[in-house]
Amino acid sequence: MSTVLVTASISNAGKDVIELSYSDNGVNWGFSPVAQKSAAAVSLAAFNNALWATFRGHTSTTLYVSSSANWGVNEHTGQSTKPAPSITVFQNQLWIAYIGEATGRVEVISSVDGKSWVGPNPTGVSSHLAASITEGFQNKLWIAFINETTGQIEVTSSGDGASWSPKPTSTGQSSHLPPAITVFQDQLWIAYTGAATGHVEVISSADGVDWSKSPTSTGASSKLPPAITKFDDELWVAFVGEATGHVEVMSSRGGEAWSTTVNTGQSSRNGPSLAAVPAVQPPDKFGGAVQYVFASPQGDGWPGNTNAKLPPIVNLLLYITVTEELTFDPNSGLSFQLNCCSPPAHEKIGWQQYVLIFEPNSTNMLLHIQNFGPAVGSRAVYAGTKSSQINLPNNGSIPAGWTFQLALQYAGNIVTGASCVVFDKSGKTIGGVSLSSIGLPLALQSGNVDQTWLSPIVDFQLVVVGYSEGAHATVKSGGGFVLCESATPLVAANTWAGSACANGGGGTAESSNCAYSVVPDLGNTGTVQCFGAPPRAGANV
């Protein structure tokens, strides 16, 4: 099964915003800010079809959780802590380990839904630094922490979260920073910053009692605590590089020899979190015009239930960010194509296209709208194009750091048009363009588009393809990522079921060689996907 690696960090730009990064190969990363703030590090876990984060408050010591089902909402667990908490899933429940503010001791709480919490349960150990929790080894919960008296890393375990080891086990290693624990190749692994060396080191144990006599250095150093997890059958460590201030990652097949570091580009003032989450199986011949379809189903009937009713997707906003200069054949052009479908049996509109076009041998960007009838093979009912007055510095190239903010315009849940604002790498606005469908001339009869020719959308996809008329685009180098935000969580699938395109009307005529990354199999109000010249993205498919 494919998986996606996710890191969490705290913005070091002075805003303390939680930021997430996603990658399906550990090399190419896409970013998403979360509408939450924290004064300490964040911890992540996948649970109940969502990505969960636990963190302490930004201006308080309140212990919160929030999930990808709605990042704008947090739930108070009823507990408080100063150091960072840690989260895992054990026996179909969420478990959080933290240092109780009132007690100074390591405590745990649990929940079956992320809203109602049971506990706290004392573990019998205390620490001034954050503890780390994991599961899956000997069917127990395991916690790694720093003994406040000796400064050594110790572990304690429990089969039920209530009764803990009578006496914790010392690993024999010391650190001035919190450790991180995970399970890999049927062993417990701990990553930490060595007290004597300042290097990120790892140790392991086959039984939780006897630990590596000598730690293995990863070759990296950090002044902040690292994170560790299993991803793609390898052991992965994340840390904040001393020289860069960015979250960096490295991997090892056996915990001895470590890869060179990869800079994710994500800055952080706290130690990162690291988690591997399941990915949606991509469609056959994934790439170019063949892409995931995103919808916002109510319940879990879709996509398995092809008759499941899909609600309208509202407040859809896409950020298309080029992280490495994107070059393409200037003779064939390129487009970012947002393809959407109306609800089933809509009388006038089925396939809707909102497109950013870079025409062949031109530096000008166009915003194009073209909507088709509901029948398979229908001709365009209406279309319109508007020049953005935004010009690329060079033909066949989009600079690194440029972001295209593509938004649909709405009247209620009806899509009425689209707009795009373009920013450079410094965040400066380069320009913008807006185009309304209302008033466009009808193509198949006299008259203009009015409200009756408009429709909601219930699913969509974003593809990087040729500019128009079945054209093929050749991406030569570089790439970036797309962040899709909506008012309700988006789910990825390989079908247009539940929309007017279910009977073969979905999919564009344009094509390309563009590669895409797999995405988490989780509902998310901020879905991220990487794209680029092959094999830049999609290496983990």
Domain residue spans in the chain? 47-264, 293-532
CA dihedral of 466, 468, 469, 474, whole degrees rounded to 10? -20
Q: Report how many helices (DSSP H) and strands (DSSP E) the chain contains, helices first.
A: 0, 40
The answer on pLDDT for 539 being more than 50 is no
Place of tokens 């041998």: 361
Model confidence pLDDT, tens digit, residues 64-107 = 999 999 999 999 999 999 999 999 999 999 999 999 999 999 99
Q: Looking at residue 14, what is its pLDDT? A: 63
- pLDDT bin (cut points 50, 70, 90) of residue 540 is very low
* pLDDT mean over 327-349: 93
Using the 8-state DSSP alphabet, how is residue 451 labeled?
G
- 232: tokens are 């793609």
Q: CA–CA separation, 97 vs 130, rounded Å?
A: 9
- 451: tokens are 């409200």
Distance of CA 188 to the CA centre of its chain: 27
| C-alpha dist (Å) from residue 417 to 138, 338, 384, 407, 447 | 56, 12, 10, 9, 18
- pLDDT bin (cut points 50, 70, 90) of residue 538 is very low
The percentage of residues in the chain with a pLDDT greater than 70, rounded to a whole number, is 97
The percentage of residues in the chain with a pLDDT greater than 90, rounded to a whole number, is 87
Residue type, 159: G
Residue 426 neighbours by CB distance under 10 Å: 6
Pick one of 3.40.50.720, 2.120.10.10, 1.10.3720.10, 3.40.50.2300 as the CATH number of 47-264.
Answer: 2.120.10.10
Question: What is the pairing mode between strands 262-267 and 246-252?
Answer: antiparallel
> What's the mean pLDDT when you consider all of the chain?
93
Q: Beta partners for 366?
A: 357, 387
